[in-house]
Amino acid sequence: MYLIVGLGNPDKKYEKTFHNMGYIAVGDAAEALGAKFKKKECESSVAEVFVGGEKVILARPLTYMNNSGRAVKQLMAKYKIPEENLLVIYDDYDLPKGKVRIRASGSAGTHNGMRSIIGETGLKEFARIRIGIRDEEVNIPIINYVLAEVKKDDYPLFAEACQKAGQAAAEFARGLDIEKVMCKYN
């Protein structure tokens, strides 16, 4: 069984912000796998699908970014997801805008949602897909930047990055080893 989590904020006012790249990308992964977000459980909006006989849970935590770990911990416990079958997709201010970076493990970096997940679950050795959002031309505090709306001129760039991240997540859900996913999409 696999759990793919896209981080974001649930309110409509955050829909087009940088902090919602994970929500968008997990939606692209769900579409690629033929899954629909139909139910709410474990403080998350959830889609389920079977891929090659394996159940895949796709989730968008409804806890807001800084408490994402609560939802992830609940989902992992409910479905007994092993750490190696967890994948988290999120925006990353430390990467240039539109860049997609996949890793088998790592730290939280500057991301509060990832800090919450690591803090709540005690895990670090899970896969992650980071979508770069940093714009060198913008010089405002990170908290203001991540909650700002993406500029219309940048929509195509971020749509492409989210789609790439979603495709990579779908490959992971199909059982492709994270190292091979990294080679293919990094």
Query: How many C-beta neighbours within 10 Å does residue 123 have?
Result: 17
Amino acid letter, residue 10: P
Pair of tokens at residue 174: 């199909």
Pairing between β-strand 44-51 and β-strand 86-96 as defined by DSSP bridges: unpaired
**Torsion angle, CA of 126/100/95/145, rounded to 10 degrees?**
-100
111 counts as catalytic: no
C-alpha 37/C-alpha 185 separation (Å) is 25
Pair of tokens at residue 157: 């760039």
- Interacting residues of 96 by C-beta distance below 8 A, sequence separation 6+: 132, 134, 136
* Active-site pick, 14, 19, 74, 178: 19
Task: Give CA 28 to chain center in angstroms.
Answer: 11
Enter the DSSP assignment of 74: H
**Residues labelled as active-site residues:** 19
